[in-house]
Chain A
Amino acid sequence: MADKYHVIIKERIKLFFIFLLVLLMILIGRLVWIQVLQNDYYGSMALNQRVRDLSLETNRGNIYDLNGKELAVNKKSKTVIAFPEQINDPANVASLLAGVLSIDEVNIRRRLKRDSFLVYIERKVTEEQYREVEELNLPGISYIYEDERLYPQDNLAGQVVGFAGIDNYGLEGIELSYNNELTGVPGRTLQEQDAVGRSIPDGIMDYIPPQEGNDIFLTIDEVTQYYAERELERAKERHDISGGSIVVMRPEDGSILALANKPDFNPNYFSEYTQNNWRNKAVQDSFEPGSIFKIFTAALALENGYYDMNDYFSDPGHVNVGRERIHSWRRGGHGWQSFRDIFANSSNPGFVKMGLSIDSDEYLDGLRSFNFGNKTGVQFPGEASGILVPGQYTDIEQATMSFGHGLTTTPIQLATAVAAVANGGYLYEPRLIDRIYNKEEAEEEIIEPKKIRQVISEDTANKVIDLMINAVATGTGSSAGIDGYLVGGKTGTSRHYGEEDRYDTSFVGLIPGDNPELLIYIVLYDLEDENYYASENVVPVFNSLAENLVRHLDISTANQPFPDINIPEKNITIENYKDRDPKHIEEALRNRDLNVKLIGEGEKILAQTPLPGTIINEESTVRLYLDNEYYESKKVVVPDLRGLSAHKAEQRAWRFGFKTNGIISGSVQSQNPSPGERIDIFSSINIK
């Protein structure tokens, strides 16, 4: 019995062990299935649970002024986020959040109902706003930090710096043009984390460090910029203008110390302003420059040998070009004027005569070499190139261009071109970036000044500077003078086409005049004052700004109060050079301190101005025609001979290449053709 009992127990134990064995086999099978066959699948699932792949944000580079004053920096701001799965009543949460955030309830509700792990509610809110959100104590609502771009100087240089959008991508100004430099490269980290999100030591780790954006140091000087913007603001209060621009530049290398515009905007709240406020008008808008452009007509006339400093012009109050009549700004004109005087008095007829004397190809090539009609290359988005030749090009276009009408330029173009005159003839690319600091490499890259080309000789540049000094000392820019400083400058006023009483007035000044360290260019737009002359509106702006800048920038005072421009009278009688060898005559005349312009090509001199017997001073021009094509159809402005004695009238007519007809006693009462007409050279003027 007992044996039987033992056998049963043994059998049961055997069965139990078999059962356990089968169970073990099943477990082993399952283990093999999970650990071996499905290893990759479960391995990656486990890894995903522990490992966090995080993108590491990088800091956008800062923008500073020349001396390291912050113009654009970053700040960590809170972005309100939500975890939709944890929110039970989206409608109620949306309603509560809409009460404290600036986003509407419907929008919030829509976001909360999204099938996402995490949604943004509002990005980069203020601390006060987030505190109110926190007080609501809503489950599933939290925050993350994001970089916010801030502009601590508010409006100052706002149009230069520009702004970056919500994603820290540059949208305007330097923020846009140097976006690639400013934006760093985001990093990445792979971390094995514990249950509460802390990194597990010796866990899986991979780390690609973020590369910080580079810092940019502008050539803009905060104080100079402030003075410039303040003067524009004051000009807006005093005059009926739509705005203005100021460029302050160092002519020696084209560095821009200030680039101010009004109206302006605060980049911290850029969306509250119109696009017109965002515009950097000094770079992005072009306008008719007016008489300031006479600087370049004079420079090209001198450079190409058409005129010299002691040549004379007749301004009878107007000049006829084709069917158009161009007036002088002064009724009755400025009369008989030297080169210096027509520049100082800004005589339009004088400059029309000068402009039309220059070969059109030489004139246009010269202006193009100054970069008119082309972008200057300043590293700023949306730079305008201006229009040099709008369409057809005839005498009337060249005549109007000679005094700055019929073409458009940007303020930065004009300032750069005047800087080329001021520094001895070298055109530089306007320099807005001084250096770029690479934080990763701790290296500083200096952005060297970029010389483009020589546009005029040093001798011509000095003569033009002399003209500009004279214009401030005796001419239209006389109120621009500063005690103790020699100032050179030129005014410009241009009336809007088709708008009788609307003007753009401008002034460009060089300080000190004899060795320019600073160039200040100012333009006021859409002036509607009764007194529209530059001396009444823009020159006082220059004067006030320059007074502050010479002190702030420590500009050296004048070595002498005013340069000696007393011209010694050296009477030289012009002989008849017809059929003579041009080379020998040129040499002989140059030896007598006369300027010689050979016109055309040929072996012999065929004609000349002044005519034989004319008495002229040194530094006057003798034109020798070597090819009849150049004078047979050439038209010249008839000088005003009225009121002169017979001898003086004859001398003046000969100087311009005319003969006189008529015997008079006393002075000339009338003449035919009348002054200001343009007739064939070497024809006769009848005098009575």
Chain B
Amino acid sequence: MSNQFSSTGTNYSRKKDYASSKQKKKAGITILILFIIIILPITLIISQSLRLVHLNYQLEVLENNLSELQSENRELILDLSSKTSLNRIERIAKEDLGMVEAESVTRLALRDGPAESEIQYASNNQSDWLSSFWHGVQNVRAATLE
């Protein structure tokens, strides 16, 4: 009887242990789920936020750099403009390079090309694109030779 009892008691204890470990397991899973549901998003949000802060500071630094570069660019344009001023160019040309102004200028009036009547056309009866190309080549030659 007592053995029976004890055996029953043991079974009961085993059952109890089993139930307890199962509960613990459940609790662990619950905690894990809670962790995943609550802590992980919070961690993610915080890390994103920190990343955002960091990027924002980087952006500010880059904006400052851009502003400085723009300012530098403006100064370079200004410098270029001053250095290419006609007054300066003339002064350097005369004083440093010893250049002098031309005393007289001779102009040659050239026509744009020979007059139509001066171009000698070769006789050509063909009417396709090849003939028109050849016609053009001949015209150029005739004009060049004039």
The distance in angstroms between the C-alpha atoms of A76 and B69, with both chains bound, is: 12
- Cβ distance B41 to chain A, nearest Cβ, rounded Å: 17
Question: Counting CB contacts under 8 A, is A139 at the interface?
Answer: no
A74 near B74: Cβ-Cβ < 8 Å: yes
The distance in angstroms between the C-alpha atoms of A99 and B69, with both chains bound, is: 32
Q: From known contacts A201-B52, A202-B52, A484-B109, infer whether A154 and B87 are also in contact, taking CB-CB under 8 Å.
A: yes
Q: Which one of B52, B71, B87 lies within 8 Å of A226 (CB-CB)?
A: B87
Which A residues are in CB contact (< 8 Å) with B78? 70, 73, 75, 150, 152
For this complex, 29 residue pairs linking A to B, each with C-beta atoms less than 8 Å apart, are A69-B81, A70-B81, A73-B74, A74-B74, A75-B74, A75-B75, A75-B78, A76-B71, A76-B74, A150-B78, A152-B78, A152-B82, A152-B85, A154-B87, A156-B85, A156-B87, A198-B60, A199-B60, A201-B52, A201-B53, A201-B56, A222-B86, A223-B86, A484-B107, A484-B109, A547-B105, A551-B105, A557-B107, A557-B109
The distance in angstroms between the C-alpha atoms of A398 and B60, with both chains bound, is: 74
- Cβ distance A560 to chain B, nearest Cβ, rounded Å: 12
- Cβ distance A674 to chain B, nearest Cβ, rounded Å: 50
- Cβ distance A157 to chain B, nearest Cβ, rounded Å: 11
What is the 8 Å Cβ interface bit string for chain B, positions 67-92, against chain A (1 contact, 0 not)? 00001001101100110011100100
Q: Which residue of A lies closest to B61 (CB)?
A: A198
The distance in angstroms between the C-alpha atoms of A152 and B53, with both chains bound, is: 43
Q: From known contacts A222-B86, A226-B86, A226-B87, infer whether A73 and B109 are also in contact, taking CB-CB under 8 Å.
A: no
Question: Counting CB contacts under 8 A, is B57 at the interface?
Answer: yes
A73 near B77: Cβ-Cβ < 8 Å: yes
- Cβ distance B93 to chain A, nearest Cβ, rounded Å: 13
The distance in angstroms between the C-alpha atoms of A222 and B86, with both chains bound, is: 8
Number of chain A residues close to chain B: CB under 8 A: 25
Question: Counting CB contacts under 8 A, is A310 at the interface?
Answer: no
- Cβ distance A130 to chain B, nearest Cβ, rounded Å: 15
Which B residues are in CB contact (< 8 Å) with A199? 56, 60
The distance in angstroms between the C-alpha atoms of A154 and B74, with both chains bound, is: 17
Which A residues are in CB contact (< 8 Å) with B56? 199, 201
* Those of A199-225 within 8 Å (CB) of chain B: 199, 201-202, 222-223
The distance in angstroms between the C-alpha atoms of A246 and B87, with both chains bound, is: 18
B77 near A70: Cβ-Cβ < 8 Å: yes
Question: Counting CB contacts under 8 A, is A153 at the interface?
Answer: yes
The distance in angstroms between the C-alpha atoms of A198 and B60, with both chains bound, is: 8
The distance in angstroms between the C-alpha atoms of A202 and B52, with both chains bound, is: 9
Which A residues are in CB contact (< 8 Å) with B109? 484, 557
Q: From known contacts A74-B74, A152-B82, infer whether A483 and B107 are also in contact, taking CB-CB under 8 Å.
A: yes
The distance in angstroms between the C-alpha atoms of A202 and B71, with both chains bound, is: 29
The distance in angstroms between the C-alpha atoms of A151 and B116, with both chains bound, is: 53
Q: Which one of A156, A202, A483, A484 lies within 8 Å of B86 (CB-CB)?
A: A156
A73 near B81: Cβ-Cβ < 8 Å: yes
- Cβ distance A171 to chain B, nearest Cβ, rounded Å: 21
Q: Which residue of B lies closest to A550 (CB)?
A: B107
- Cβ distance A559 to chain B, nearest Cβ, rounded Å: 10
B81 near A152: Cβ-Cβ < 8 Å: yes
- Cβ distance A356 to chain B, nearest Cβ, rounded Å: 45
The distance in angstroms between the C-alpha atoms of A74 and B81, with both chains bound, is: 12
Q: Which residue of B lies closest to A150 (CB)?
A: B78
The distance in angstroms between the C-alpha atoms of A199 and B78, with both chains bound, is: 33
Q: Which residue of A lies closest to B108 (CB)?
A: A484
- Cβ distance B107 to chain A, nearest Cβ, rounded Å: 5
- Cβ distance B48 to chain A, nearest Cβ, rounded Å: 11
- Cβ distance A149 to chain B, nearest Cβ, rounded Å: 11
The distance in angstroms between the C-alpha atoms of A445 and B144, with both chains bound, is: 46
Which A residues are in CB contact (< 8 Å) with B49? 201-202
The distance in angstroms between the C-alpha atoms of A230 and B74, with both chains bound, is: 29
The distance in angstroms between the C-alpha atoms of A524 and B86, with both chains bound, is: 24
The distance in angstroms between the C-alpha atoms of A201 and B49, with both chains bound, is: 9
* Those of A450-483 within 8 Å (CB) of chain B: 483
What is the 8 Å Cβ interface bit string for chain A, positions 541-582, against chain B (1 contact, 0 not)? 000000100010000010000000000000000000000000
Which A residues are in CB contact (< 8 Å) with B57? 198
Q: Knowing that A201-B56, A547-B105 are A-B contacts, what are 19 other residue pairs whose CB atoms are under 8 Å apart, sorted by A's residue number?
A: A70-B77, A70-B81, A73-B77, A73-B81, A75-B75, A75-B78, A76-B71, A150-B78, A154-B87, A156-B86, A156-B87, A198-B60, A201-B52, A202-B49, A223-B86, A230-B90, A483-B107, A484-B109, A551-B105
